[in-house]
Chains A and B, each alone.
Chain A
Amino acid sequence: MQTDNIEDVVDAAELEAKTADWKLSPEREAMIDDLQSRYPTKKSTLLPVLWAIQEQEGWISREWMAYAARRCDAALSHVLGVVSFYTMYHRKPVGKYHVQVCRNISCHIRGAPKIIAAVEEKLGLQNGGVSSCGKWSLEHVECLAGCSWAPVMQINRTLHENLGPDEALKILGELE
C-alpha cells in the first residue's frame, strides 16, 4: 500500500492469528451483536463495527482491521478498501483533539480562510498534521452542513458554528 509503511508489514496470516481472540469492550461487543441480529448480513455491519473500533482505539490499525474482517465475515482487502474509502476512518492515530475546519464554498464566503490561517498558526500544523505531543491534529474538510451558520469547525464530534478567528482561537485555548 503506497500510503503504508512497507517496513512494518507483517504476514496477514500472522495478523489474523494474533487477533483471533481480540474483542472490543463488552458494551461494544453487545452493541455489535445487537446490530448483527437486525442487519440482513454480517458484512453490512462493517461500518458500525469500524466506528466502534475507532471510538475505542482512536484509529483503526491493521490489527483491528483483521478483527473487523473476522467479525463481519469480510475479506481483509475489503475492510481496507472500505477504511480507505471513507475519510473519517483514521488509519493513523490523530490528535486527542482532531480539529476539522470546513473549506467549502459557504464557509469560504463567510471567512473560512481566516479561520484556517488562525488555527494553523495557533497549532503550528498544516492540513493532515498531527502535533508531536499528540494532542492536536488538523484537517481541512469538505462541507459539514453548517452552511447557514458558517464558518464552522468541528473538534472531535462537536461542531462550532458562526466562527470568527477570535472565537476559533478561544475554543482551542479552552482545550489547552
Chain B
Amino acid sequence: MSENTVNLTIDGIQVTVPKGTNLIEASKKAGVDVPHFCYHSHLSVAGNCRMCMVEVEGMRGPQIGCNTGANEGMVVKTDTEAVKEQRAAVMEFLLVNHPIDCPVCDQAGECKLQIYYMEHDRRDSVVSVDEKVKKGKAIEVGPRVMLDQERCVACSRCVRFCDEVTGTGELRLMNRGDHTTIDTFPGRELDNDYSVNTVDICPVGALTSRDFRFQARVWYLEHDDSLCTGCATGCNVKVSHYKQIELDDYNGTAYRLQPRVNDEVNQAWMCDFGRKEYRKVNDGRIEQPFAHNIEIGWDGALGHVKNALQPLRDGVAAEVAGVVSFDATTEEVWQFRKLLREVFGQNEIAVLASRPDGKADDFLIDADKHPNRAGALLAAGDAATADPARYLEGKSAVIVLGANPMATFQDEALRQAFAGIKHKIVLAANRNETTELAAVLLPTVSFTEKDGSFVNRQGRVQRIFPILRKGYPCRRDLDVLADLAGTFEADWPRTDAAAVFREMAEALPQLAGLDYGTIGKLGALAKDVATAALGRKA
C-alpha cells in the first residue's frame, strides 16, 4: 500500500483505491453498482438525489456515496435493509410528481427511473395523476434538444455541464420546492456546441435528442466502440445500432454517436457537430460497383480497371496517379502507397484534404475536419507530393481512395488537372463531386465497418472497429486495394489491418513498439508525431 492509496471493504469485497475516492467509484472497483442520478464522474458533486446512500461502519445513519471519501479500513455496506428501504423511498419520492408517460417517452429503455424502479421499488403509486404538479412538455429548448420538465428529477447534471464544461450557463433549476423546474432564460436557447451531452447525461426523459428521438427503441439497440471522424480530435464514441440477431431486416444502420470516456482525449464528451458523423454510415452510400454509371458487379468493375490500366502499366508506369485523403486510415494510406509503387511503379501520391478547415475552439473542436491528417501524412511519408495539381497534370489514369479532388473548395488548378485525366478509378463509400466523374466506381465501407487506426491531433493512435455490416456488396478499402493488386497479379492478403499495422510499426520509428493490443480501446501515443507529422503545424 502506498501513502496515497487505502484499503476498504465494500459488501465484503476488499478493494484498494486512491485515498478520498468517493464510494460510488470505489464500489465500481469492487464490482458493486451503487445506484445514483445526480452523481457524474466528470462533473462536480451535487449530492442532491440521495439515491446513492450506503452504510459506513462507525458513521451515523446512511451516507451519500458520492460525497463520502474512502478511508483506510472503511467498511461499507450497500445492501443492508436500511439502504434498500432508503432507495425504495427515494424512488417513491421521485415518482410522486413524475408523469409516468413511459409509453410515449423516448428515454424508455435507458431511463434510470425505469431501471431503478424495477431494481429497487416495484410498488404501486399512491398518488393519482391529477394530484401531481404540472409543468411544461415537449419544449424545443434548443435546436438539438427537446425538454420535458415534468420528467425532470432535478439532478442538476445538465446545469452543471453547462456551467462547468462549456461555461455557457444556459440552464437553471427555476423556482423551488416541488415547483423546481429546469429551464433556460426565456428567449435563450440551449445552443452551445456541446448541447447534446446534456441529453446523454440526463438520467431520465427530460432532455432528449431531437435528432435521435423516436428513431429507434433503445431496447433493441446495442452500442459499440468507435471514433468520431468529424475532426482531428478523435473523440472516443459508441455507435448505437440494432442488435443483429433480433431483427430480420437488419441493415447496418447507425442511429447515433455518444461519447465514450477517454480522459486523455475527450473526457466524457463530444461536440454536436461530431454527433452527425453517424449519417455518413447511412446516407449517400454507394451500394454497387459502377462502370460509366452502369451497375456492373465487382468482377466487371475490376475487369474495367484492368482494361483501362493494363496498357499504362505495361507502358509508362508513371502515367498512373494516386489520390488519397486525410479521411483514410493510416493502414489504408500505407497500402495505397504500396499499391501505387509496387503495381504501377508510381512513387508519388497526392494526400488531400476532403474539406476545408472549419470552426475550432479550445476544447474538443479542431479546425481540421479530418480524423487522420497526422496518420495519413505519416504513412505517405516522402511519397506525398508537395504540389498535387502539378502531380496530376497530364496523367492518363488516377486511382482515388476516399478523396474528393473535385470538391468545390479545392484549388482550381487541382480540379482542372484531375478533371482532365482520362481514366478515373474511384474507391469511395459516399457519393461526392468526384464520384460523379468516376469511370469506375468501387464501393468501400464507412468507419463503423472496418478495422484500422487514426492518429489524432495529439499524435495519439486510436482504433476503429468493424461493428456494422451492410447488406449490399461494398468492400473494405484494404480488400479493394488487395483486389486491385490481384487484378494485376500481385498477391496481397485481404483485410488484415493488424498485419499492415505491424508492418508499419517495423518500418516507421514513430509507431515502433505499438500494435493493436497496446493501442486497445483507448489508444496510445505515437512518438514525435504530434509535432512532426501534423505537417501544417510544423
Residues of A44-87 at the interface with B, using a CB-CB cut-off of 8 Å, are: 62, 65, 75-81, 84-85
Cβ of B183 within 8 Å of any chain A Cβ, yes or no, is yes
What CA separation (Å) do A14 and B135 show in the bound complex?
27
What CA separation (Å) do A75 and B184 show in the bound complex?
10
Assess the A85–B169 pair: CB atoms within 8 A.
no
B interface list, Cβ under 8 A from A = 135-136, 149, 163, 168-176, 181, 183-188
If the complex has contacts A2-B135, A85-B176, are A75 and B187 also in contact, measured as CB distance less than 8 A? no
If the complex has contacts A81-B172, A85-B175, are A76 and B185 also in contact, measured as CB distance less than 8 A? yes
What CA separation (Å) do A76 and B185 show in the bound complex?
6
Question: Residue of A at shortest CB range from B187?
Answer: A12
B interface majority secondary structure? loop
CB A10 to nearest CB in B, in angstroms, measures 5
What CA separation (Å) do A122 and B149 show in the bound complex?
39
Assess the B149–A2 pair: CB atoms within 8 A.
yes
Cβ of A133 within 8 Å of any chain B Cβ, yes or no, is no
Interface size class of A (residues with CB under 8 A): 20 to 34
In the A-B complex, the 5 residue pairs with the smallest Cβ-Cβ separation, listed nearest first, are A75-B169, A81-B172, A12-B188, A76-B185, A12-B187
Assess the A76–B188 pair: CB atoms within 8 A.
yes
Assess the A2–B187 pair: CB atoms within 8 A.
no
Chain A residues in 8 Å Cβ range of B185 = 12, 62, 65, 75-77, 79-80
CB A76 to nearest CB in B, in angstroms, measures 4
Chain A residues in 8 Å Cβ range of B168 = 75
A interface list, Cβ under 8 A from B = 1-4, 9-15, 62, 65, 75-81, 84-85
CB B142 to nearest CB in A, in angstroms, measures 12
> Given A2, A3, A77, A85, which contacts B188 in the complex, CB threshold below 8 Å?
A77
Assess the B187–A10 pair: CB atoms within 8 A.
yes
What CA separation (Å) do A15 and B187 show in the bound complex?
9
What CA separation (Å) do A4 and B136 show in the bound complex?
11
What CA separation (Å) do A49 and B461 show in the bound complex?
53
What CA separation (Å) do A81 and B162 show in the bound complex?
14
Chain B residues in 8 Å Cβ range of A15 = 187
Chain A residues in 8 Å Cβ range of B174 = 1, 80-81, 84-85
> Given A11, A13, A77, which contacts B169 in the complex, CB threshold below 8 Å?
A77
If the complex has contacts A75-B169, A75-B170, are A1 and B176 also in contact, measured as CB distance less than 8 A? no
